[in-house]
Amino acid sequence: MLVLTRRSGESVFVAENIEVTVVSVRGDQVRLGIAAPSDVGIVRGELVNEVRKENKEAARAIAIASMKVSRSQCRQESVLKLSRSDAVNQDTDVGSRRLSFNRVGICT
Amino acid sequence: MDSQRVGTRGIGVLDDGEIQFPTGLFGFGWCRSFHVISCDSMPNFRWLVSLDKPDILFLAVETYAMFPEYRVNMSEAEVEALDLLSVEEAAVLTLVSISGESGVLTTNLLAPLIVNPATRRGRQVILDDSGYQTKHAVRSGAREWLDASADTEIG
């Protein structure tokens, strides 16, 4: 990570079109001003981390809850079948487009 | 900043098939292509199967169908970045998880997936300052419900 020391009122540019200015420093709080194109998303870091964590938990919980014993095999097959049926012909592959989800015990 | 409410008429507009998230999902930057699969026994829910990494599977819900009062506000620039002609036509999905031993089905209202049903491209956005939670309860008994619902013929 690049670490820079800045004083209040000073700024840094990220690329040519994003300027981050230190507006004020008071105790352990720093106020930042960010000037960026309107299509650049600006979100507080803790929210990004929270959403990353939640996405991972969701993928894990759903995977555990919805898979048969040989889960990656089942998944791979179904994905291959789905991709192939889309690429080639929807009609010929309908019989094999079966995603089998869990009926065995669901672990935690 | 001007913002617009997104996806108000977008329920059921996203057909099954491939969709792209050019920047991936948070924490899954490498997962950019998914196959959307709806399931007759679970109306308003969609499976999202990763085409980049077959082990990755999400369950999502059509958020407006379940929470009509839900609000997604995006800036005009964010809407334009998705090439949306009409913001109301966007599909709004939120990812579903299962929490705790009792199996409460929750959905991430803080970070919806906004998908343009015409271009089939989408983005996961974080609704900063919205007050929405990552684990908004949908229903209890999630494991039994999923178990009973999910083993379904697709196609």
Q: What is the pLDDT of residues A6-24, one digit of tens each?
A: 999 999 999 999 999 999 9
- Whole-angstrom Cα distance, residue B91 to residue B14? 6
Q: Give, in words, the CATH class of B3-150.
A: mainly beta
Indicate the residue of A54, A63, A101 with minimum beta-carbon distance to B108.
A54
User: Three-class SS of residue A34?
Assistant: strand
**3-state SS class at A105:** coil
Residue-range domain boundaries for chain A: 8-38, 45-96
Please state the pTM of the whole predicted model. 0.77
Mean pLDDT (chain B) is 85
Task: Residue A100: list chain B partners with CB under 8 A.
Answer: 151
Strand, helix or coil for residue A5? coil
- Chain A residues with CB-CB distance to B108 below 8 A: 51, 54-55, 58
Weakest-pLDDT range from A4-13, A76-85, B133-142: A76-85
- B26 and A101 in contact by Cβ < 8 A? no
CB contact residues (below 8 A), chain B span 42-71, against chain A: 47, 49-51, 54-59
Judge whether B57 and A62 are in contact, CB under 8 Å. yes
User: Residue A39, Cβ neighbours under 10 Å: how many?
Assistant: 13
Instruction: Summarize pLDDT for B21-65 with one digit per residue, the tens.
Output: 998 999 999 999 999 998 777 888 999 999 998 889 999 999 998
Taking the mean position of all CA atoms in its chain, how far away is CA B9? 15
Gap between the Cα atoms of A93 and A75, Å rounded? 16
